[in-house]
Amino acid sequence: MDIITVQHLTKVYGSGPASTRALDDVSFSIAEGEYVAIVGSSGSGKSTLLHLMGGVDRPTSGTVLLNGADVYARSDEELAVFRRREVGLVYQFYNLIPVLNVVENMTLPVALDGREVNRDRLSSLLSSLGLEGRESHLPNQLSGGQQQRVAIGRALMNAPAVVLADEPTGNLDSKNSREIMALLRASNKQMGQTLVVITHDEDIALSADRIIAIEDGRIARDERIRR
Ligand SMILES: Nc1ncnc2c1ncn2[C@@H]1O[C@H](COP(=O)(O)OP(=O)(O)O)[C@@H](O)[C@H]1O
Ligand SMILES: [Mg+2]
């Protein structure tokens, strides 16, 4: 079954002569549980595409369906709830809140929703992410690899169907990169989560089920990896 369907997606930033067509009539589908790498040169439209799959921005035209539902038929308030509950977003520079500790950062989307924190899920995530004993640390008291683990914990806290990661290892050394990718892969395999990762790392791209290459806002290649 397809979990994400992107149809004729176009994004133009700005207007008039200064406008940028970041995505130009892009269409594709991603199956439930698939692990997809998105590659392409800087400025090709990768982040724009990932944001539009995650309800972060609105397209100029075209649609995104997640689990068959039109993401952008939602109001801005509904879209904010959608981002907290249905997708997990991971960024290159972690995007943690500096004044919140590890547990507070991880549970922020749940708190914003006014819901109870699932304590079992929190402790199992803290343990699988290797963050036990770091619960009260602030982001600036953690290494880059640890900060990215917290960001992954925040993304996984609501057990989203889809995890969208924008160069999640772009700021990490090779050991931490491998560990972060292993954590994302484990969640993808064990929980059947759909995983979409933007990467410049060829080894990471080749570890995916499928590679979509973006050039100038269009799909230049879309290939399944055979093993
Ligand atoms: N908020 C924005 N306002 C104006 N232009 C933007 C904005 N975000 C991205 N762009 C432009 O859109 C194009 C695609 O950007 P982006 O999706 O970030 O590419 P990538 O992630 O592949 O580097 C680039 O030309 C970029 O400068
Ligand atoms: Mg980008």
Element (H, E) at 76: helix 76-85
| Digit-coded pLDDT (tens) for 126-149 | 999 999 999 999 999 999 999 999
Q: What is the mean pLDDT of residues 175-187?
A: 95
Residues 137-163 have a mean pLDDT of: 96
pLDDT of residue 49: 98
167 alpha carbon, distance to own chain's centre:
9
CA distance 79 to 138: 29
Residue 12 pLDDT grade (very low, low, confident, very high; cuts 50, 70, 90)? very high
**pTM assigned to the model:** 0.96
* pLDDT value at residue 51: 98
| Average pLDDT in the chain | 96
- Report whether residue 48 contacts ligand 1, using a CB cutoff of 6 Å: yes
Q: Quick one: which H or E segment has residue 182?
A: helix 174-191
The token pair that represents 12 in the structure block = 């133009």
What distance in angstroms lies between residue 182's CA and the mean position of ligand 2's atoms?
A: 22
CA dihedral (125, 129, 132, 137) positive or negative: negative
Model pLDDT, residue 82: 96
In tens, the pLDDT along 31-87 reads 999 999 999 999 999 999 999 999 999 999 999 999 999 999 999 999 999 999 999
Give the model's confidence band at 226: pLDDT under 50 very low, under 70 low, under 90 confident, else very high. Answer: confident
* Cα 195 to averaged position of ligand 1 atoms, centre (Å): 22
Determine which residue's CA is closest to atom 6 belonging to ligand 1: 13
Phi and psi (nearest 5°) for 151? Answer: -65, -35
- How far does the centroid of ligand 1 lie from the alpha carbon of residue 61, in Å? 16
**Residue 38 and residue 40: Cα distance in Å, rounded?**
7
Q: How confident is the model at residue 227 (pLDDT cuts 50, 70, 90)?
A: confident
Q: Could you tell me the distance, in angstroms and rounded to a whole number, from the CA of residue 10 to the centre of ligand 1?
A: 13
Determine whether the shortest distance from the Cβ of 177 to ligand 1 is under 6 A.
no
Taking only the tens place, the pLDDT of each residue in 88-137 is 999 999 999 999 999 999 999 999 999 999 999 999 999 999 999 999 99
- Least distant ligand from the CA of 168: 2
Report the C-alpha gap between 204 and 95 in whole angstroms: 22
Best probe residue, ligand 1, of 9, 41, 47, 167 (max atoms within 8 Å of C-beta): 47
Q: How far apart are CA 32 and CA 4, in angstroms?
A: 8
Q: Which ligand is nearest to the CA of 91?
A: 2
Flag whether pLDDT at 3 surpasses 80.
yes
